[in-house]
Structure 1
Amino acid sequence: MGYKNESKVYEDILNLLERGKVSTEYAVGKMIKQKQMNDNKRNPNQEDVNAMMVELDTLIGLERVKKLAREIQAYILIQNKRREEHLAADSLVLHMIFKGNPGTGKTTVARLLGKILCAMGVLEKGHVVEVERADLVGGYIGHTAAKVREQIKESLGGIMFIDEAYSLARGGEKDFGKEAIDAMVKGMEDYKDNLILILAGYKEEMENFLKTNPGLKSRFPIHIEFTDYTLDELIKIAEDMVKKRQYILSLSAKAKILRILSQKRIEDRITSGNARLVRNIIERAIRKQAIRLKDSGSFSREDLITLKRDDITEEDH
């Protein structure tokens, strides 16, 4: 990624002008706009970057992602300084593979990275377009490429995030998933300065998926594994969730959450490190507390903010 080589862009515009393809007014306007874009990318909004890096640091776990964000921040700073000294400066390639179970923070991280990379000047908009197989694969010849182009167009200036990306390679010989992959790779090349593609899914499935297309893995230089949260991290996530909603957990409520999570870990290791499970427990507890307080007919401010042991349940009942 990074801004395009100015001299090459200006040369292309001047060639069009000399061939009479564009007007002088248009050529000058394009060069001014290109200069403004590159100036913006040389001067990232440091205040916004710092604020979002703090937000990233407050997320539980995800140390590999935090390390990557700091590396990108340092890289951009040094490359910009090199340009100021008229030294050669490389552009960034930031297409990524996110591997991990559901609920381990992949989508949350993608959204935050979009904002950070926009503030750093790497992306023009920083928005995230979340797509899945149905958004990319058509039902007849030519339909798939058009659908992929449409999603790429919507994603320009930001991140296209494809969850369960391995599903693109699951069809048979007559499936259009392979066509979607080919169109996606072409889009990565055509818009390499204005698009980041993130493919996400289960670790094993993603690794098998990358083997289906020999040139695919090399196009994604950044691979991040999102490990399941530990029990301690899940409790911290629960505490953060209730704090943001202006609630608190009683000690017995916290102990019951820990017991539920521990039991889940024994029964089903796939979802045991899942922040979605914690969110469901907390949201269910808030509903249970509301019913409990309503039925009591009398409650204090302390009652309104406290989630108790009886409010914590594994399932609605």
Structure 2
Amino acid sequence: MTIRVTFRPDKLQPPVIQSPLPRETAQILIPVNEPVGIGKVRKNNPSSLEKDKDKDKVAEILDELEAFIGLVTVKRLIRELQAYVEIQKRRTREKLIAEPLVLHMIFRGNPGTGKTTVARLVGRLFKEMGVLQKGHVIECERADLVGEYIGHTAQKTREQLKKALGGVLFIDEAYSLARGGEKDFGKEAIDALVKAMEDNKDNLVLILAGYRQEMEFFLQSNPGLRSRFPIHIDFPDYTLDELLAIGKSMLKSRQYELSPEGSDTLRFHLLSLINTHPYAGNARLVRNLVEKTVRKQAVRLFQKPSSSREELIQILPVDITLEDL
């Protein structure tokens, strides 16, 4: 390496010493993992620490699922899906033939039986398992997909699909897309969804939800729909004991507690709802009853100049009513 020394005219100033800049070092290219999608596995093997973290997160999500009241068949099917996805990934790593991961689903059940809640959990689960990049859930219905003129529907549907890429597109009351007959724009939305399922099969899960009978009619409206949704999950109505447990859990989360007499009164009213309301066996109706009960207790206590901690917590039979529910 040549070093140049330059002496200045003024001898009091030190000479200038120049040395050539070092050659640019070659850039070190760090391989980046390919996006993980359905049917893909990570190119670079993750460290054991990363694997342990993923397993812990998956275990947490499954524990959350198990904490749900009821939904026994739903829990079993979700665990089957988890096992199926994991085994296909293992087979891929061992250079064995792996089944394609087609994970589009149909959720059938009455309102308030947990369909939306489980869809959100599925998105998070698939994200932690490396099936989806983001795992977020875009929730929409007919009005978000169907336009008012020719061409508008395809545009609106594509917008929702774009938002859902990397996660789950959850369409509630999906059967309404096929209700309007041949000239209805809902057919256009169905066609756009079917195309997107093929074009984005590695990074999108589509979940269609609705009543059992209506969803069966919907699947018959398009010959290619049923085969594209291999996973059908039925959400049963909650039993009386499950509804009571849900009500107590909701109250507990708000730091309220039923008195023994209040518990008997709540059970009596829930039984009455099951016998009279067409969709009584669901958590949404229980939530409405709990919120009304809390308001009634507040009105009762407000009439007193002060309240003890026990009074603020306890729910009495007089607080529980079905009026205006």
Instruction: Establish whether residue 170 from structure 1 lines up as the match of residue 174 from structure 2.
Output: no
> CA deviation digits over 1:110-140, x for unaligned, max 9?
1111111111111111111111101111111
Change (3 A) 1:81 1:33: closer
Going from structure 1 to structure 2, the CA distance change for 1:174 and 1:84 (only over 3 Å counts) comes to closer
Cα distance change, pair 40–105 in 1 and its aligned pair in 2 (3 A)? farther
Partner of 1:152: 161
Is the Cα contact below 8 Å between 2:77 and 2:233 reproduced in 1? no
Matches of 1:97 and 1:42 in 2, distance apart?
33
CA RMSD of aligned residues (A): 2.1
Tell me whether 299-308 or 41-50 shows the greater mean CA deviation: 41-50
CA distance in 1, matches of 2:43, 2:85: 13
**Structure-2 residue corresponding to 1:296:** 304
Normalised by the length of structure 1, the TM-score is 0.85
Which deviations, in whole Å up to 9, do the C-alpha atoms of 1:166-206 show, x marking residues without a partner? Answer: 10011133210101100010011111111111111111111
Q: Map residues 271-310 of structure 1 onto 2, 5 A cutoff.
A: 271-310=279-318
Deviations 1:185-231 (A, max 9, x none): 00111111111111111111110111111110110001111111000
User: Per the alignment, do residues 218 and 35 of structure 1 end up closer, same or farther by CA in structure 2, a change over 3 Å counting?
Assistant: closer
| Unmatched segments (≥5 aa) in structure 2 | 1-28
Deviation (angstroms), 1:81: 2.5
Shift of the 35–111 alpha-carbon distance from structure 1 to 2, 3 Å rule, reads closer
Q: Which residue of the partner structure matches residue 69 of structure 2?
A: 60
CA contact (8 A) 1:256 1:312 kept: yes
Matched, 1:39 2:42: yes
Q: How many residues align?
A: 288
Following TM superposition, by how much is the alpha carbon of 1:316 offset from its aligned partner in structure 2, in angstroms? Answer: 4.3
What are the equivalent positions in structure 2 for 1:62-141 lying under 5 Å apart? 62-141=71-150
Quote the residue 2:8 is aligned against: none
Counterparts of 1:231 and 1:110, CA distance in 2: 24
After the TM superposition, list the runs of 4 or more consecutive aligned residues in structure 1 that deviate by more than 6 angstroms: none
Larger helix percent: 1
Q: Distance between the aligned counterparts of 2:236 and 2:301, measured in 1?
A: 38
Aligned position for 1:255: 264
Pairwise CA distance, 1:247: 1.4
Larger Rg: 2
Shift of 1:40: 8.5
| Contact kept in structure 2, 1:123 and 1:157, CA below 8 Å | yes
Q: Secondary structure at the match of 1:303?
A: helix
What is the distance in 1 between the residues matched to 2:44 and 2:144?
Answer: 31
User: TM-score under structure 2 normalisation?
Assistant: 0.83
- The residue that corresponds to 1:18 in the other structure is none
Partner of 2:15: none
Distance 1:62 1:56 in 2: 9
Are the equivalent residues in 2 in contact too, given 1:126–1:158 (CA < 8 A)?
yes
